[in-house]
Structure 1
Amino acid sequence: MEEYDEMDKCVTISVTGKRKRRQQHNSARSKAKENRYSANDRIPRVICTHSNSALCRADTLTEMDIAYINEQLYSSHDKVKQDAVLLSHMDVMQCKRRRAKVKAEDKQRQRDLTVKYFVLKEDKTNVPVCQASFLSIFGVKKDRVHGVAKYWLENGKARPENRGGSRQKEEEAAKRETVRNHIQSFTCRASRYARRGGPGRQYLPSDLSVAQMHRMFLEQNHQQVSYSLYWSIFVYDFNLAFGHPAKDVCSSCVKFRNAIKEPDPSAEEKQKKILLYTLHRRRARQFYNILNEVGDTLTICFDMMENLVLPKSAVGQSYYSRQLYMYVFGVVRHHGRGEPQRCHEIHLYTWLEYQNSKDSNTVASALWHYLSSVARAELCQCQSLRLFSDSCYGQNKSIHLLSMLFALRSHLYPQLNVTYFLPIRGHSFLPADRVFERIEQDIRKKTTILMPEEYCEILRKHGNVHEYGKDWQCYNFRDEAARFTSSPRSFEISDARVLQVSGDTLGFKPVFTGEFSQHSVLKQGKKWCRFNPPLLPDVNCVKVAKRNDVMKLLGEIGVQKSVLGFYKRILSNAGVQDIAQDLEDCDED
């Protein structure tokens, strides 16, 4: 899981940039160069007519010998390596004697070196050959062989590759390093709601752009660097993008930022506000540090996904119509920072709006099913369970959920120590949200979704799906908790950061550090072993106005009769009088 804690971080160089680097070996120039130094169109052969000569014994070579000799050169397509192979088959020396071959001295050719050629057969024996046979066997030209020999005679080593490449490498490297340092001077953060991009992508502020950063670089460094160079370093060396304006941010963070930006504050007041803001951010970061300190505990994170709508359609009318909701409650086993999320450790509980409401009863029932059946084998072996969720009062942060945990411990795991962590509001990005991101990416690819089974098919790609009524049921934890828990209580659950369930008392901490204060939540004479919530009947929460909007929208889309019949059945108990007549009117429309 990639950590997200709403904190600004320094930009770092990424192993895999936003764009992949060009693969030089696949470029047209590289392929042409490889073809130039390969034996594609070259047929090795002996072209001289020497026979029984001590200087050239090419006539003794067989076709297999010639093929083996040629392969020694073209086993590599690198020119420098091929030149070294050619040099190993030559004896290069200075000219020892000069003889006049023409009468006119001005036309006399002054040769600087003498070369003896030979080839190496498969049995490691040297065979002397003439220059013509040497060139034809290896398929090279005279000028190349002469250049290799001359360079070795002058420098005592094989000729290196001097063609191409930058002539200002050091200056170019210094420029690149300056650009990298400038980009690293910015701060970035992981994305919470802009749920696109590759893994490890970090986001710069939304009011920046590469062009602006390049202008800032020129103003600050007074060094001539082209925009194309700056852009190439930005996309190839860094995995960065520009975020969207933040949504659902922490109100305390916004309040502190605005207070710091106030004009003409006194130095003492500004310093005090900065210290309070820093303290708030450190507290928020502390939650994520605790989350990733897994150790030998069983760490579970749970959260509600954004409501899925039915029917989902690209028709413009769907943006203005009420739609039926499908709820998804995710439970994820967390193994620590950087550990992968495995599908078999992700459990998704689904139900629809016509089946039951979205409240603490359904959340507690789904979590009860997970802890009592799915994770039972692991909980029987471990001594400590850690739970992490956001601080939503109507769903997670309630006495009903705590009562469920007390009853679970009393009924099934008497020795289990349960610790429940709740983050600061606005800083509650959990591992479950990463799962929801991947699901939403798949859902966006579907333009039309009419049936719940289509959503379930997508969800099964990311985890185990538990459907309401088939795999789990809802219990009335709210009324049962009212019978067993005392009210008023000696603590405010809204102020809790850490809660601990052990025995019959509740450990309470308003901050992440320090000691627990113990509180009794059980009524006198009650025992958690008798806590037995009754089964909650299905409750159709679809209102009349929504039912009418859904039916009209289905008429706009023009769905099949089987789909229309499904919606008629599930919406028939929406509290409308004379439902049959209304459905007939919808059919006529």
Structure 2
Amino acid sequence: MLIRFIRVSHYRREHAPLRKYLPSDITITQMHKYFIEKHNNVDCSYYTYRAFVRDRMKISFAKLGHEECEQCEVFGQHDLTHTKNSLDLDKCDICKKWNAHIKKATEARKKYREDGESTTEWTPMKICVSADLQKVIMLPRIDTFKQVLFTQRIIAFNESFVAVGKHQQTLGPSAVIWHKGLAGRKKEELCSAFHKYLLSQRDVLSIKIWLDNCAAQNKNWTLFSFLAHIINSSDIAANVLEIYFFEPGYSFMSADSFHHQVEQSMNSYGSSLNTGAGGKIYDFNDFQGAIEQVKMKNVKVLSMELSDFRDWKDHSSLMKIKKYSPRPYLSDIVKLKFERGSFSLWYSNEYNSHYTEVNFLTAKYLKNLTEPNVRSQSQSVTKSRKADIIKKLCPLMPENRRHFWEELPVSNEATNLSQDID
């Protein structure tokens, strides 16, 4: 089986933690074709191969970011007599749960639509964007060569911040990008990406951000600690930061549309350059170039440097949080607000309800508001992965694209084994 390029995605992790996913430039058809070429003595149909990969190897073929809603699927399967027009809210817990779920999804979409259609609410000093991490992108991206299927590559990341609705006419999308040789996608790195973007909007006075409900990525106390820190810093001028969360399964937003444009640009990138056929992304600079050529106005690419990554910490106090009644639970929160002059957060479990204030930071942190440490060392890749790329894939690249791979920092394989199973 061809498994060296499979990656765990942040999408669906909360609902399907054991699943892995194909990167966007690999298909199950390609996998089956090359499996037959490699094992020509094995009689294995496409459908048998697909079923084995899906059921036994737990590899998904879904288009990440456009998945169906799990809660709606559970509701649709649990009892055929219980439909959206004939709910049993008195006795059926699944009906109750689905009814609350769909109500939140409808309210979130209505709020998001209102933000998008407003022509007076948003100004250069008051902006509204959606933010999301693009689905798995592997470098180099040269899928016309089957050697790619047998070679471990590195992940490129794109945390995009895209204006909502008509606001796009004045505020172009921003793509904060980095690669696995520099850093990963843990909470600290994602907070650093938010930091990079907010610094690019340092003169804006009010910022509203729509996010999906991915717990590891967008709903965590590390991010909330960071937001309380940045709103009270001199790094930005904003007086208020608002965060709105979509209901799981119903989170399509402007950032997703931008990611589609990025995907299209990568598929055609290089066709006008002296690099052979289009659709080849040889190195990180090509990835950046493809984003810059997206057919949208005022696209801005913010490439992360090592010094942009900081070790943001979770400074929340569980003791303080437990004392509140009702206690705030991350899974229930649908909107947040942070204001300059206060280190509290204001939250609500309903889109149309008032905020409740929570003093959530530890007393120790509030007494000594220390800055997080700036990274001094890149994450790096293993020597074996770098050597594999240079040996198998660099010969397929123009000579002027090989420097990135030759200079890619490496780490001690004995202390970085996780790189080969990410």
TM-score interval (norm. to shorter): 0.5 to 0.7
Distance 1:513 1:444, change over 3 A: same
The residue type equivalent to 1:425 in the other structure is P
Report if aligned partners of 1:357, 1:541 keep a CA contact under 8 Å in 2: no
CA contact (8 A) 1:407 1:528 kept: no
Q: Which amino acid aligns with 2:226?
A: M
Gaps of 5+ in 2: 1-23, 25-62, 116-120, 269-277, 323-327, 415-422
1:312 is displaced (CA, Å) by 1.3
Give the Cα separation in 2 of the matches to 1:505 and 1:263: 43
1:464 to 288, 291, 300: 300
| Partners of 1:260 and 1:270 within 8 A in 2 | no
Matched, 1:508 2:339: no
Distance 1:466 1:246 in 2: 22
CA distance in 1, matches of 2:192, 2:64: 37
> Do the aligned partners of 1:385 and 1:419 also contact (CA within 8 Å) in 2?
yes
Give runs of aligned pairs for residues 16-165 of structure 1, distance below 5 A: none
Q: Residue 252 of structure 2 aligns with which residue?
A: 429
CA RMSD of aligned residues (A): 3.4
User: Counterpart in 1 of 2:182?
Assistant: 355
1:393 aligns with 2:215: yes
Alignment correspondent of 1:17: none
Q: 1:397 to 1:274 in 2, by over 3 A?
A: closer
Q: Which residue of structure 2 lines up, in the alignment, with residue 325 of structure 1? A: 155
1:246–1:547 CA distance, 2 compared to 1 (3 A) = closer
For residues 566 and 408 of structure 1, do their structure 2 counterparts lie closer, same or farther at Cα, with a shift above 3 Å needed?
closer
Q: How far apart, in 1, do the equivalents of 2:190 and 2:65 lie?
A: 28
Offset, 1:247: 5.6
SS in 2 for 1:493: coil
Match in the other structure for 1:408:
230
Q: Deviations over 1:192-245 (max 9, x none)?
A: xxx9xxxxxxxxxxxxxxxxxxxxxxxxxxxxxxxxxxxxxxxxxxxxxxxx99
2:311–2:375 CA contact under 8 A, matched in 1: yes
> In the aligned structure 2, how far is the partner of 1:320 from the partner of 1:464?
34
Q: Which amino acid aligns with 1:326?
A: A
Structure 1 residues 527 and 457: CA distance shift in structure 2, 3 A: same
Cα deviation, residue 457, structure 1: 1.3
Corresponding residue of 2:203: 377
Query: Contact 1:349–1:467 (CA<8 Å) still a contact in 2?
Result: yes
Structure 1 residues 126-175: Cα deviation after superposition (integer angstroms, max 9, x where no partner)? xxxxxxxxxxxxxxxxxxxxxxxxxxxxxxxxxxxxxxxxxxxxxxxxxx
Per-residue CA deviations over 1:35-66 (Å, capped at 9, x if unaligned) read xxxxxxxxxxxxxxxxxxxxxxxxxxxxxxxx
**Contact 1:410-1:528 within 8 A present in 2 as well:** no
Contact map agreement 1:411 1:529 (CA 8 A) in 2: no
- What is the DSSP-based 3-state SS (H/G/I as helix, E as strand, rest coil) of the residue aligned with 2:358? strand
* Structure 2 counterparts to residues 417-496 of structure 1, below 5 A: 417-445=240-268, 446-462=278-294, 463-469=299-305, 473-478=308-313, 481-482=314-315, 485-488=316-319, 489-490=321-322, 491-496=328-333
Distance 1:563 1:444, change over 3 A: closer
**How far 1:521 moved relative to its partner?**
1.1
The alpha-carbon distance between structure 1 residues 574 and 561, as it changes in their structure 2 partners (threshold 3 A), is farther
Give the distance between the partners of 2:139 and 2:64, measured in 1 at CA. 29
Q: CA deviation at 1:552?
A: 4.4
Over residues 398-453 of structure 1, what are the superposed CA-to-partner deviations in whole Å (9 max), with x where a residue is unaligned? Answer: 21211121112212368823221111212111211111111111212233221222
Aligned counterpart in structure 2 of residue 310 of structure 1, from 129, 132, 139:
139
The letter of the residue matching 1:569 is: E
Question: 2: distance between equivalents of 1:254 and 1:528?
Answer: 48
Alpha carbons of 1:486 and 1:284: their partners in 2 closer, same or farther (altered >3 Å)? same
Q: Give 1:553's aligned residue.
A: 392
In structure 2, do the counterparts of structure 1 residues 385 and 467 end up closer, same or farther at CA, with 3 Å as the change threshold? closer
Q: 1:574 aligns with which of 396, 411, 415?
A: 411
Please name the residue that 2:53 is paired with.
none
Shift of residue 320, structure 1, vs aligned partner: 4.0
**Pairwise mapping of residues 204-353 of structure 1 onto structure 2 (< 5 A)?**
248-261=67-80, 269=88, 277-294=98-115, 295-296=121-122, 297-313=126-142, 314-334=144-164, 336=165, 339=166, 341-342=168-169, 345-353=172-180
Gap change, CA 1:274 and 1:540, over 3 Å in 2: closer
* CA distance, structure 1, for counterparts of residue 265 and residue 379 of structure 2: 29
Q: What letter matches 2:336 in structure 1? A: L
Superposition deviation, residue 529 in structure 1: 8.2
Q: Which has the larger radius of gyration?
A: 1
Unaligned runs of 5+ in 1: 1-194, 196-243, 578-589
* TM-score computed with the length of structure 1 as normaliser: 0.49
- Report percent identity of matched pairs: 16
Matching residue's letter, 1:319: L
CA distance in 1: counterparts of 2:134 and 2:243, whole angstroms: 20
What is the SS of the residue equivalent to 2:217?
coil
Change in Cα spacing, 1:270 to 1:473, as seen in structure 2 (3 Å) is: closer
Please state how far the C-alpha of 1:487 moved relative to its aligned partner: 3.0
Whether contact under 8 Å (2:225, 2:361) holds in the other structure is: no
Report the Cα distance in structure 2 between the residues aligned to 1:290 and 1:343, rounded to whole angstroms. 21
Q: Which has the higher contact order (CA 8 A, sep 6+)?
A: 2
Distance 2:161 2:211 in 1: 10
Kindly indicate whether the alpha-carbon contact (under 8 Å) linking 2:134 and 2:158 is maintained by their aligned counterparts in 1. Answer: yes
Report the alpha carbon displacement of residue 464 of structure 1 after superposing the two structures with TM.
0.7
Look up the match of 1:33. Answer: none
TM-score, scaled to structure 2: 0.66
